């Protein structure tokens, strides 16, 4: 599904505070599986996730997505691929305050030019599946943490992506809610989606819902 | 100079366009020197971000230019009261030698900006941005054009002094004159009619051909036919369409038709004509790059769409002009 | 086409929601914007109304007026002068006119007395302008008496009050018959105040004027188009001066717009970061922001424009009248006839929307290029 070859990523290139977050990563991600990256903060797992998810471009190295080399693509096309094939769930949920749950969920669908009715229908469907149908018109800041995360998950699914990317999905959830998230994760696998996530929550990385755990340290992969 | 709000506004707009583009020029140079699409370096990423600024800027210049073109003619028309012998925009433009060159330059800026935007549009459809260097080199070439435009406008407005005796459309576009404009309008209604419809038929034909086939040859044909169609249209307006609108056998004027006395019919004519010409020129301007691998698939689609727009615009223009002629009480050609 | 349209609708939707969420910030900008539009539109509407009033006045006046000069001063036209002009090609009609000023001590105002042929105004009757009628409380069939400069009292019956369509034209006008005029002012028989000539073809006016000067060297022809031009340039010039004074305000407004657009709050920055991360492209964000600018501009344009219209045509441009009206202060009540034209709106657009857009372009772009991965790195 996704293949990385010798990926390196630098920040503040050419300046005195130049810093390499990734030092030559080689990785192949299997379709339909849940892959977790584990490692201390600053190990480069989030940076790696942004490259895999087409949020940023590697400074060096090749990225192939479904057999196609996408490493040199300008932002315009990378965004195109991203919004068609990737859905994102962030640690802070990153919902837009002041908008209702549904209005947040349809945001990624807006640039695709789908009609509003079509998008809202799909959003309601997703919220029903996530058992949040009754709060669909509530403003997101009135929702609880768990509810907010489900809105964020529905938002990640609105364009029906093949790959879900989740950055520290359980960091802001208690144990019960984390277990709920793992159940949703199993639902993704059942639906044939590929999931990539970062976590240092033992509940997640040791769960049976996760098929593969990759360790990271200092911008390098350590072991599976 | 006449101290007059519309003049200040026009100078402000033209000056602003030059300033904005001049401010952006160093970055265009950077793009030309350091562009490397394959690289993921931070400099390359920064350059890519800049390209968004340029296309937004140029789109702004294009829209402002179209508005300025209208304001320029509109204002010239109203200023006519200030000059002895001037009764409409023609008289005002003739007050000094810079009036008509300035008008032509503004038209040129509009069409050049349109062509650049067409080029920019196809480039952003190709995954490797193959035209980036060419585009930014052209942008640097556009800067002196905009500067000249500003300079001509400044010259013209500075040279405006009330009480100058000018010639107006009656004398400029009358049969005896020796200028090109006079020759165009002095043409008998018969030949002008033939030229007008032949030119438009050619433009519509070429555009339709390109719309269907989207070949390189038809693209160049569209470019040439659009330019020819534009000239033929202006000649036609000068030599007979305007006469029918004014219902006066000797009033050749391309501007008076914009006046409220004639129900602003000129806008209905000129807006489709200018849009069609911009689209036709745009379709042709991108043809030299049709063989580039990454453009081979998208370019014909874009240029065909532009050609379709051009064909529609010319057809609307021709239909409107014909309608004005048929509904006029003036008879120039006996049946 | 359809997806494109849907997309723009989404962007407008989002923009409206986001403007509503940041009311306080945007209300300030909108107020400043509206104020600028209001001031400029008032200025332009007012001068344009004065201009059209002036040309309305002049439209009815003859193309050429011939005055006789004695020692460089305007003097009466002696008998036989009219015949000396003879036939000039292009002159359709020539007639001697009789008019003069009369100071009315009752209301401390000057009236213009003008003689009309007996067929229009019968002996012993007058027609009066609306302003005068208002001041003196006159209605048709009232009688009024004026004391002539020679000290004699003359009584007149008001036959009609002139229509108040254009007050500038007729506000202080008194029309009376020729014989009444001559008796009232003791005007010597056969003399006239000046001569009016009508010329059909505007191209010939200058030729006619040149011929007149040659035939009657002691005369001065005054061309209508020259008077019109003087009015036009005078008002344009005044408008230009005020505009230059206001240039500072426009600049200040542009700086405010720049500042507002670049000073994104942390919340806005975060929102754009989120949009970029979940699949919005730089171009989408720019388009969304352009819509935002359009919505603000349009609102300000509409609000400011309507306010200016009301200000000028219902409140007589209370703010600008002292600067711009000049000599028209002479007229007691001066309601402007509403007149708006495309040129004004286009010019106004160039003075407000163009600087605004130019000021916010770069800040918009800066905001739009937020890195898509910024929200994850934070």
Give ipTM to 2 decimals. Answer: 0.92
Query: Nearest CB to B41: which of A59, A71, A74?
Result: A59
- The chain-wide mean pLDDT, for chain B, equals 84
Residues from chain A that touch B294, judged by Cβ atoms under 8 A, are none
Query: Nearest CB to A73: which of B43, B49, B127?
Result: B127
Residue C169: per-residue pLDDT: 60
Query: Nearest CB to A98: which of C21, C274, C282?
Result: C21
Residue A95: per-residue pLDDT: 93
Band of pLDDT at residue B180, cut at 50, 70 and 90? low
| pLDDT over threshold 80, residue B193 | yes
Residue C92: per-residue pLDDT: 80
User: Could you tell me the residue ranges of all domains in chain A?
Assistant: 2-95+162-221
Residues from chain A that touch B37, judged by Cβ atoms under 8 A, are 72, 74
Minimal Cα–Cα distance from C260 to chain B, Å? 19
Rounded to an integer, the average pLDDT of C84-95 is 78
Pick from C285, C365, C370 the residue to mutate for testing the B interface (most B CBs within 10 Å): C365
At A180 the three-state DSSP class reads helix
| pLDDT over threshold 90, residue C212 | no
Residue C376: per-residue pLDDT: 78
Which of B 51-110 lie inside 8 A of C, CB atoms? 52-53, 56-57, 60, 64, 67-68, 70-71, 74-75, 78, 81-82, 84-85, 87
Residue C330: per-residue pLDDT: 38
What is the Cα–Cα distance from C24 to C260, expressed in whole angstroms? 12
Minimal Cα–Cα distance from B43 to chain A, Å? 8
Band of pLDDT at residue B184, cut at 50, 70 and 90? low
Angle made by CA atoms B267, B270, B272, in degrees to the nearest 5:
105
Looking at per-residue pLDDT, the higher value among A79 and B170 belongs to A79
What does the pLDDT look like over A84-112, one tens digit per residue? 999 999 888 899 999 999 999 999 999 99
Closest CA to A113 of B170, B294, C3, C176: C3
Pick from A101, A111, A167 the residue to mutate for testing the C interface (most C CBs within 10 Å): A111
Looking at per-residue pLDDT, the higher value among C248 and A157 belongs to A157
What is the Cα–Cα distance from B114 to B297, expressed in whole angstroms? 22
What is the Cα–Cα distance from C284 to A110, expressed in whole angstroms? 9
- Asked which of A102-116, B150-164, B237-251, C314-328 is least confident by mean pLDDT, the reply is C314-328
Band of pLDDT at residue B1, cut at 50, 70 and 90? low
| pLDDT over threshold 50, residue C328 | no
Minimal Cα–Cα distance from C105 to chain B, Å? 39
Name the superfamily (CATH) of residues A2-95+162-221: P-loop containing nucleotide triphosphate hydrolases (3.40.50.300)
Q: Do C240 and B53 touch (CB under 8 A)?
A: no
Q: Do B87 and C202 touch (CB under 8 A)?
A: yes
Query: What are the structural domains of chain C?
Result: 2-58+229-377 (no CATH), 62-223 (2.40.40.20)
Identify the burial level of A79 via C-beta atoms within 10 angstroms of its C-beta, where 0-12 means exposed, 13-18 middle and 19 or more buried.
buried
Beta bridge partners of A167: A198
Q: Do A97 and C267 touch (CB under 8 A)?
A: yes
Query: Using CA of residue B180, residue B184, residue B185, residue B188, what is the dihedral sign?
Result: positive
Band of pLDDT at residue B285, cut at 50, 70 and 90? very high
What is the Cα–Cα distance from A187 to A195, expressed in whole angstroms? 11
Residues from chain B that touch C343, judged by Cβ atoms under 8 A, are 6, 71, 74-75, 78
What is the Cα–Cα distance from C340 to C237, expressed in whole angstroms? 19
- Asked which of B54-68, B184-198, C151-165 is least confident by mean pLDDT, the reply is B184-198
- Three-class SS string for chain B? CCCCHHHHHHHHHHHHHHHHHHHHHHHHHHHHHHCCCCCCCHHHHHHHHHHHHHHHHHHHHHHHHHHHHHHHHHHHHHHHHHCCCCCCHHHHHCCCCCHHHHHHHHHHHHHHHHHHHHHHHHHHHCCCCCCHHHHHHHHHHHHHHHHHHHHHHHHHHHCCCCCCCCCCHHHHCCCCCCCHHHHHHHCCHHHHHHHHHHHHHHHHHHHHHHHHHCCHHHHHHHHHHHHHHHHHHHHHHHHHHHHHHHCCCCCCCCCHHHCHHHCCHHHHHHHHHHHHHHHHHHHHHCHHHCCCHHHCCHHHHHHHHHHHHHHHHHHHHHHHHHHHHHCCCCCCCCC
- The chain-wide mean pLDDT, for chain C, equals 82
Q: According to the per-residue pLDDT averaged within each range, which of A35-39, C130-134, C215-219 is highest?
A: A35-39
Which of B 173-212 lie inside 8 A of C, CB atoms? none
Q: According to the per-residue pLDDT averaged within each range, which of A92-96, B117-121, B278-282, C142-146 is highest?
A: B278-282
Pairing of strands A2-11, A19-29: antiparallel
């Amino acid at each position: 599904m996704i293949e990385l070859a010798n990926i390196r990523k630098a920040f503040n290139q050419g300046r005195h505070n130049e810093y390499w977050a990734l030092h030559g990563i080689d990785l192949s991600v299997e379709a339909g599986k849940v892959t977790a990256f584990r490692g201390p903060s600053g190990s480069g797992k989030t940076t790696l996730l942004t490259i895999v998810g087409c949020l940023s471009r590697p400074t060096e190295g090749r990225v192939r997505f479904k057999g196609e080399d996408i490493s040199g693509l300008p932002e315009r096309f990378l965004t195109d691929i991203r919004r068609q094939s990737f859905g994102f769930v962030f640690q802070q949920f990153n919902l837009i305050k002041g908008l209702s749950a549904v209005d947040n969920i349809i945001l990624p669908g807006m640039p695709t030019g789908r009609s509003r009715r079509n998008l809202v229908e799909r959003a309601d469907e997703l919220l029903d599946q996530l058992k949040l149908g009754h709060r669909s018109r509530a403003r997101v800041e009135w929702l609880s943490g768990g509810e907010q995360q489900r809105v964020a998950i529905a938002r990640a699914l609105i364009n029906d992506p093949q790959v879900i990317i989740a950055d520290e999905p359980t960091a802001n959830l208690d144990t019960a809610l984390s277990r709920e998230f793992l159940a949703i994760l199993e639902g993704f696998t059942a639906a044939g989606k590929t999931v990539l996530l970062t976590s240092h929550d033992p509940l997640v990385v040791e769960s049976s819902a996760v098929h593969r755990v990759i360790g990271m340290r200092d911008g390098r992969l350590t072991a599976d | 100079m006449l101290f007059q709000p519309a003049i200040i506004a026009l100078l402000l707009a033209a000056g602003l366009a030059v300033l904005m583009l001049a401010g952006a020029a160093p970055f265009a140079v950077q793009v030309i020197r350091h562009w490397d699409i394959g690289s993921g370096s931070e400099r390359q990423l920064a350059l890519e971000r800049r390209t968004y600024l340029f296309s937004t800027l140029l789109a702004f210049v294009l829209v402002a230019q179209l508005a300025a073109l209208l304001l320029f003619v509109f204002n010239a028309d109203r200023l006519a009261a200030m000059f002895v012998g001037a009764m409409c925009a023609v008289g005002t433009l003739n007050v000094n030698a810079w009036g008509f060159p300035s008008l032509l330059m503004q038209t040129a800026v509009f069409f050049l900006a349109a062509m650049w935007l067409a080029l920019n549009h196809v480039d952003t459809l190709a995954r490797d941005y193959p035209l980036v260097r060419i585009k930014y080199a052209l942008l640097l070439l556009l800067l002196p054009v905009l500067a000249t435009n500003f300079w001509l406008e400044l010259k013209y407005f500075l040279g405006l002094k009330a009480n100058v005796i000018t010639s107006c459309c009656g004398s400029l576009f009358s049969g005896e004159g020796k200028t090109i404009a006079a020759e165009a309008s002095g043409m008998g209604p018969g030949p002008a009619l033939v030229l007008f419809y032949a030119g438009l038929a050619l433009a519509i034909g070429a555009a339709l051909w390109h719309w269907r086939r989207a070949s390189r040859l038809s693209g160049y044909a569209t470019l040439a036919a659009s330019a020819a169609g534009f000239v033929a249209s202006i000649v036609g307006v000068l030599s007979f369409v305007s006469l029918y609108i004014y219902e006066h056998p000797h009033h050749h004027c391309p501007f008076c038709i914009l006046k409220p006395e004639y129900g602003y019919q000129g806008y209905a004519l000129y807006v489709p004509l200018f849009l069609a010409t911009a689209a036709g020129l745009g379709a042709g301007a991108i043809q030299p790059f049709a063989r580039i691998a990454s453009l081979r698939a998208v370019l014909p689609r874009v240029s065909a769409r532009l050609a379709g727009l051009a064909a529609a615009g010319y057809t609307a223009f021709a239909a409107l002009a014909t309608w004005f002629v048929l509904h006029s009480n003036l008879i120039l050609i006996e049946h | 086409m359809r997806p494109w349209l849907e997309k723009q609708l989404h962007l407008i939707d989002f923009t409206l929601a986001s403007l509503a969420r940041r009311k306080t910030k945007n209300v300030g900008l909108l107020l400043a914007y509206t104020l600028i539009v209001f001031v400029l539109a008032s200025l332009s509407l007012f001068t344009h109304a004065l201009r059209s009033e002036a040309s309305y006045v002049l439209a009815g006046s003859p193309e050429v007026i011939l005055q006789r000069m004695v020692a460089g001063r305007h003097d009466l036209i002696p008998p036989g002068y009219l015949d000396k002009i003879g036939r000039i090609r292009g002159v359709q009609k020539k007639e001697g006119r009789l008019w003069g000023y009369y100071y009315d001590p009752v209301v401390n105002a000057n009236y213009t007395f003008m003689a009309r042929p007996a067929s229009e105004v019968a002996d012993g009757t007058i027609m009066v302008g609306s302003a005068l009628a208002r001041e003196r409380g006159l209605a048709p069939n009232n009688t009024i008496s004026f004391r002539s400069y020679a000290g004699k009292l003359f009584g007149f019956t008001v036959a009609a009050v002139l229509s108040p369509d254009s007050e500038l034209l007729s506000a202080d006008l008194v029309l009376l018959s020729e014989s009444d005029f001559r008796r009232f002012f003791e005007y010597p028989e056969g003399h006239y105040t000046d001569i009016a000539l009508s010329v059909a073809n505007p191209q010939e006016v200058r030729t006619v004027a040149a011929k007149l000067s040659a035939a009657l060297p002691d005369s001065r022809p005054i061309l209508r188009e020259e008077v019109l031009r003087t009015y036009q340039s005078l008002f344009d010039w005044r408008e230009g001066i005020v505009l230059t004074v206001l240039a500072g305000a426009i600049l200040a407004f542009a700086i405010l717009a720049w500042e507002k657009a670049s000073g994104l709050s942390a919340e806005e920055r975060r929102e754009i970061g989120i949009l970029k991360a979940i699949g919005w492209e730089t171009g989408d964000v720019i388009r969304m922001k352009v819509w935002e600018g359009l919505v603000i501009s349009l609102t300000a344009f509409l609000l400011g424009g309507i306010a200016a219209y009301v200000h000028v045509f219902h409140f007589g441009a209370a703010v600008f009248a002292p600067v711009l009206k000049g000599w028209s202060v002479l007229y007691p009540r001066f309601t402007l006839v509403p007149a708006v034209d495309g040129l004004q709106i286009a010019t106004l657009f160039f003075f407000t929307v163009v600087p605004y857009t130019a000021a916010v372009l770069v800040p918009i772009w800066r905001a739009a290029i937020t890195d898509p991965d910024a929200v994850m790195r934070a």
